[in-house]
Structure 1
């Protein structure tokens, strides 16, 4: 672990521990990716960012967007941290679309469910797992497979374009038509196509068209923190700390 990753790991455990003060303890359980997917699909047409966030909070796993970082460590994409027998997910990179957030949350949840943060460990993903090259890291590969199976039903989904050249609007139309049939969020399916073809400009162009389009995902994530954390159970000095690192104003709580 690099010095930067060590600093982020320590910082993440501090933030995660602070959040735990206001999150009810839930008996730790491990679920296979297909179990969570089936549970979500019982009441939702697809597995998306919204449904994953509901699952995480329901399992006692807070998901928060960091606004402040230690030292100059600003390159982190996301991290999952173990706190005793509990865990938290911390997002670092601000997103404009829910689909990339769905993959990030699924990937970090995978680290938790696969036991990668047991014993108070932390997994720091410096790069976006969706776009980073395979570096031979077995834990990262396992988390990717888990996340993809959770989101798509397949650990290695095959997405094949029926034409060598396609526009963002054509991709958007295709995934909006096929996604619901496959029980895959259209935005996630567009990202799978981007990964398969390496035409990320077309994938992100499609996300602009696919509802709900561009939005402030970071604020949306922390609005859930506002609602889900029992602030009365959080010590005043810890509240101040969380307000600062998550960019929460006192009036929001």
Structure 2
């Protein structure tokens, strides 16, 4: 006689069939959920409730004799810049991102205030409030948090879970920017951040809405995108980062990646433009991605990966004590930012 399936195993399988792989489920479960705990039928409901909360699902259908997956009534989701024949199933990543956004928004230290209404004005505001050699990832992050706009990096979510490059979740009281492109380069995350800020400033995502940029990569081009919102966001981002519209970069002579990096650094420092952005812009225009990426890596040097910078800003921008312990654990896991939490633990980061 076969042994009947445990309720928790049927719940796990239902979630997997609905597009939430077991690897993702494992990431979402608290540390106290061990194999021994799973063998206890009395905790099935608690475990299912945790998973439902993290994935934006109704909990009660998971407890049925034949568990089923039902999404909560969330918000209007706009998927942007999908690549033909390469469209991703972003259901799982989007669900996690929404939960992350809601948690972080609830603990943000600063009330939401509008950004300046033009790219030029916002550029001056960032450089004036957070001075630096150029407008780069760190001071643009600080500007977002000073306006009460959280920025979160969504790390790897387990085998089989694909992610978007960026998105904006407009919660009840504020927009939250999610960055999740798989790249340690500050310059890549800088452009995506500027692009998502543009969506907020230009009114492309309103309260109660979510905008997902599926892929912002070398295939992205202002001139090729038929989506007017995406073209406008790209143009805004370019002006914000460069101080002028439609900025492009070329080299008069052939150069190796070291010469490209040196030239970009000198020009960037003189004009307050991130050199990493310059070399990626050059690569996009010329198609010389090998040289561009190598130059960007050289310019970044021994600095930590972009995700670490974003994570440290996040933990400094929220009140961890305002969140339940299990939510802190959840955020650490899906943002892979435990080290960054340790750096800012017990400190208060004041924003102007």
Aligned CA distance change for structure 1 residues 97 and 71 (closer, same or farther; 3 Å):
closer
Unaligned 5+ runs, structure 1: none
* Aligned length in residues: 252
Q: Secondary structure at the match of 2:211?
A: strand
1:141 matches 2:227: no
- Of 95, 100, 103, 1:15 maps to 100
1:245 matches 2:330: no
Q: Which residue of 1 aligns with 2:314?
A: 225
Report the Cα distance in structure 2 between the residues aligned to 1:54 and 1:101, rounded to whole angstroms.
Answer: 14
Give the 4+ runs in structure 1 shifted more than 6 A: none
How far is the alpha carbon of 1:145 from its aligned partner? Answer: 0.7
Aligned CA distance change for structure 1 residues 140 and 185 (closer, same or farther; 3 Å):
same
Report the Cα distance in structure 2 between the residues aligned to 1:227 and 1:27, rounded to whole angstroms.
Answer: 16
1:140-187 residue CA offsets vs partner (Å, 9 max, x unmatched)? 111111111110012311323202x32111211211121122221111
Report the Cα distance in structure 1 between the residues aligned to 2:163 and 2:328, rounded to whole angstroms.
Answer: 25
Contact persistence 1:82–1:119 (CA under 8 A): yes
RMSD: 2.4
Worse-matched range after superposition: 206-215 or 175-184: 206-215
Query: What is the correspondence of 1:147-166 to structure 2 with a 5 Å cutoff?
Result: 147-163=237-253, 165-166=254-255
* Structure having greater relative contact order (Cα 8 Å, sep ≥ 6): 1
Contact persistence 1:30–1:114 (CA under 8 A): no
Contact persistence 2:138–2:309 (CA under 8 A): no
Q: Which residue of 2 aligns with 1:169?
A: 258
Report the Cα distance in structure 1 between the residues aligned to 2:156 and 2:218, rounded to whole angstroms.
Answer: 24
How far is the alpha carbon of 1:139 from its aligned partner? Answer: 1.1
Report the Cα distance in structure 1 between the residues aligned to 2:261 and 2:331, rounded to whole angstroms.
Answer: 38
Computing the radius of gyration over CA atoms, which structure comes out larger, 1 or 2? 2
Q: Which residue of 2 aligns with 1:124?
A: 212
Aligned CA distance change for structure 1 residues 89 and 70 (closer, same or farther; 3 Å):
farther
1:61 matches 2:152: no
Aligned CA distance change for structure 1 residues 47 and 233 (closer, same or farther; 3 Å):
same
Aligned CA distance change for structure 1 residues 41 and 3 (closer, same or farther; 3 Å):
closer
1:103-153 residue CA offsets vs partner (Å, 9 max, x unmatched)? 111111111111222122111112125542433111111111111111001
